[in-house]
Structure 1
Amino acid sequence: MTVSRGPSLERFADSRSLTLGVELELQIVNHHDYDLTPASKDLLRLMGKYKLPGNVTPEITESMIELCTGVCDNHMQVLSQLTETRDALVACAAQLNVGLCGGGTHAFQDWSERRIFDTPRFHEVATLYGYLSKQFTIFGQHVHIGCPGPDQALVLLHGLSRFIPHLIALSASSPFVQGTDTGFHSARLNSVFAFPLSGRAPFVNRWDDFLIFFEKMTRTGVVKSMKDFYWDIRPKPEFGTIEVRVLDTPLTIEKAAALAGYIQCLARWLRIEKPFEPHEDDYLPYTFNRFQACRFGLDGTFVDPSTGEHRVLRDDIEASFQALEIHAMELGAEDALSYLRKELAGAGNDASWLRGVHEHEQLLPEVVRQQCRRWAGDSP
């Protein structure tokens, strides 16, 4: 009797350690009332004439577009590539009389008006998840970190997991949903949590054990590939990376590059200094820490997985900056940490900026208009 087996996982590709790749999902809005508009196909057509270091691809609904860097060595390369692609996208958007902006959610769009982009994969997702697929018109930044091998990738994944609340709080830019201030700094992640295969990866630190887990999951028919996992951090074997997925899309490319530089510094610190050994018990406060960061941003409570000590998240972020200083020097990421430090000491994250604009203007379309100006680089 032959036992059928599920799809096999790709071989973990060769990858240079600590290389970076960044993906940014962007909002496409009209210039009439700054609502989302389905212009991704036209944008992709115009972008076809540009030769870019990365690429631009569709996302699940037609009011979104994703830009990706190539493989980068450091923060400055990420910033350079993001700038080149951003400028091309802004030029093409101007030809279509539409705007582009960052932010983890659109402030007042109606999810029911969204259109699924016409690809087999997106239609399959829409068929499986129903209305959730249109509610997935949310916008995130994904950061890939190159790993020398699969076992090292899993160790790094679990090490970085304790810094998920730090990354959420720093990147948070989604306080508004369907015209309402949610009270959250990152409401976007509430939409991600609705998917059944979201949250944290299982605690295994050997690739052979991960393959056993993956085979069990595929045997059930629940998953077909790694794309079916919406984990906060997941392995990306075809790239030889791990992919950090919790960040809201920032309002500027400078912020996006700085966050990528911070993650690279954390990865180098974890790999070289090995400040702690990952354990399953590290995940005991994981969901609490994640919620605190989403709800309260930089002022959320962080529970140290090792000691149980409660600290204010912004204080723990500042402590991490101090621990990373030598690694930032080695990676050429001093400007990245400096950028984030200034935000930490100043007005705070992008969610605070968005609330400040709304408090002043009292009009959400004006908030989105100013988001577009920030993304294009023509507003402080």
Structure 2
Amino acid sequence: MALEAFKPSDALTLGVELELQLVSTHDYDLAPQAEDLLRVLRNHSGAWDVKPEITRSMIEIGTSVQRRHGPLRAELLDLRQQLSDGARKLNIAIAGGGTHAYQHWSAQQIFPTERFHYISELYGYLAKQFTVFGQHVHVGCEDGDTALWLLHALSRYVPHFIALSASSPYVQGVDTGFDSARLNSVFAFPLSGRAPFCTTWDEFGVFFDKMTHTGVVQSMKDFYWDIRPKPEFGTIELRVCDTPLSVEKAAALACYLQCICRYLREERPFEPSEDDYLVYTFNRFQACRFGLDGDIVDPKTKQRTKLRDDILRTLARVDEHAIDLQALDASRLIRDSVFDGNDASALRRLHAQGEPLPSVVESAARRWMGLG
């Protein structure tokens, strides 16, 4: 199977996907009611999309193509309202967060589609353990060469998005010690991690042909890379974020990415190289394990600093781009998150105050649904 042509799209346009938890309002465990909720939402108003995910206790929503923070935030708020109204009809709630705090993977049910059954047959129990919840952000690119350049240039900023979005400290009732335990589940898949260092679409096509001829992959969907090109959309897709606890945070993360992309494209502060990936796995682990308190090593200078300081410096560098993109409100929310802590910290604070984990999940659901 040959790699499809890269479909041009307007530069720096945005699309956001959120994988969301469906929880029972009785015990706040995951509820296998995706089919019911999809039925209720079949005639929703709005340009956004809602569809199933790999297990029946998940759904995925996707925004329309957006250009600015204000309209993106407004669409996510409308989406939240309609999803929340639909969930209440079924006596369930909807929550963000990268993992459910105490669900057991063995109890999950694969959603009945051909692709999800294929994944389950191929990956065994890993498919059910993939009941984790992420935010994906698409950024428009005008051609494949630009997309690959931007993909590799963004590699040094991947820890920013892991640390800022981290909201998965608990797995099966245990504090894992990680701010983002979700990415450990993703990393278990053999085609996860970083994309190969291809710098042109033709070169990437050669790589793709080699992979398909081995029979290991059938399409781009089989790659679970942290950032991957999506030729059918004309985008690159950042996949490392946990689903935040609020849609406001989701919109801010997307526009922080948009600002960085504009800064990279217009100022070209460095040229990406294969050597950038020498510290990639270390930086990624630090962000997953320690969140904003993790270390990050600059692949060019080899200097080591705290992630929260690197984010603040980056916010200062992209400030003028945030102004041009009308994203200052998003930048302010990101800056506040650096000082106030990420969502993993917020969940841990609730538990430390004596809230049992079901109450922590209830609080997360109320927050995502705009109830508190």
Do they superpose with TM above 0.5? yes
Which of 350, 355, 358 aligns to 2:343? It is 350
State yes or no: 1:325 paired with 2:319.
yes
Letter in structure 2 aligned against 1:256: A
- Residue 269 of structure 2 aligns with which residue? 275
Partner Cα distance (2:10, 2:355) in 1: 48
Give 1:193 deviation, angstroms: 0.4
Partner Cα distance (2:127, 2:46) in 1: 29
Partner Cα distance (2:235, 2:300) in 1: 26
Letter in structure 1 aligned against 2:362: R
Are the counterparts in 2 of residues 301 and 313 from structure 1 also a CA contact under 8 Å? Answer: yes
Give 1:151 deviation, angstroms: 0.1
Give 1:59 deviation, angstroms: 0.2
State yes or no: 1:184 paired with 2:178.
yes
- Residue 97 of structure 2 aligns with which residue? 103
Are the counterparts in 2 of residues 185 and 297 from structure 1 also a CA contact under 8 Å? Answer: yes
Letter in structure 1 aligned against 2:321: H
- Residue 136 of structure 2 aligns with which residue? 142
- Deviations along 1:267-303, whole A, 9 cap, x unmatched? 0000000011000000000000000000000000100
Partner Cα distance (1:206, 1:8) in 2: 16
Give 1:51 deviation, angstroms: 2.1
Letter in structure 1 aligned against 2:282: F
- Residue 32 of structure 2 aligns with which residue? 38
- Residue 117 of structure 1 aligns with which residue? 111
Which of 274, 279, 292 aligns to 1:285? It is 279
**Percent identity of equivalent pairs:** 61
Letter in structure 1 aligned against 2:132: I
Letter in structure 1 aligned against 2:237: E
Letter in structure 2 aligned against 1:9: L
Partner Cα distance (1:52, 1:358) in 2: 37
Letter in structure 2 aligned against 1:249: T
Q: SS of the residue aligned with 2:353?
A: helix
Give 1:77 deviation, angstroms: 1.8
State yes or no: 1:360 paired with 2:366.
no
Partner Cα distance (2:32, 2:268) in 1: 47
1:170-209 paired onto structure 2 within 5 Å: 170-209=164-203
Are the counterparts in 2 of residues 174 and 185 from structure 1 also a CA contact under 8 Å? Answer: yes
TM-score (norm 1): 0.97
- Residue 70 of structure 1 aligns with which residue? 64
Partner Cα distance (2:2, 2:128) in 1: 30
Are the counterparts in 2 of residues 26 and 66 from structure 1 also a CA contact under 8 Å? Answer: yes
Give 1:362 deviation, angstroms: 3.6
Partner Cα distance (2:66, 2:354) in 1: 39
Runs of at least 5 residues in structure 2 that lack an aligned partner in the other structure: none
Letter in structure 1 aligned against 2:345: S
Give 1:190 deviation, angstroms: 0.2
Q: SS of the residue aligned with 1:361?
A: coil
Give 1:52 deviation, angstroms: 1.8
State yes or no: 1:338 paired with 2:332.
yes
Letter in structure 2 aligned against 1:66: E
Q: SS of the residue aligned with 1:99?
A: strand
Tell which deviates more after alignment, 137-146 or 357-366. 357-366
Partner Cα distance (1:214, 1:141) in 2: 25
Runs of at least 5 residues in structure 1 that lack an aligned partner in the other structure: 1-6
- Residue 376 of structure 1 aligns with which residue? 369
Q: SS of the residue aligned with 1:163?
A: helix
Give 1:361 deviation, angstroms: 2.7
Partner Cα distance (1:9, 1:94) in 2: 43
Give 1:377 deviation, angstroms: 1.1
- Deviations along 1:184-215, whole A, 9 cap, x unmatched? 00000000000000000000111100000000
Are the counterparts in 2 of residues 61 and 115 from structure 1 also a CA contact under 8 Å? Answer: yes
Partner Cα distance (2:275, 2:5) in 1: 29
- Deviations along 1:169-189, whole A, 9 cap, x unmatched? 000000000000000000000
Are the counterparts in 2 of residues 361 and 367 from structure 1 also a CA contact under 8 Å? Answer: no
State yes or no: 1:151 paired with 2:145.
yes
CA RMSD of aligned residues (A): 0.6
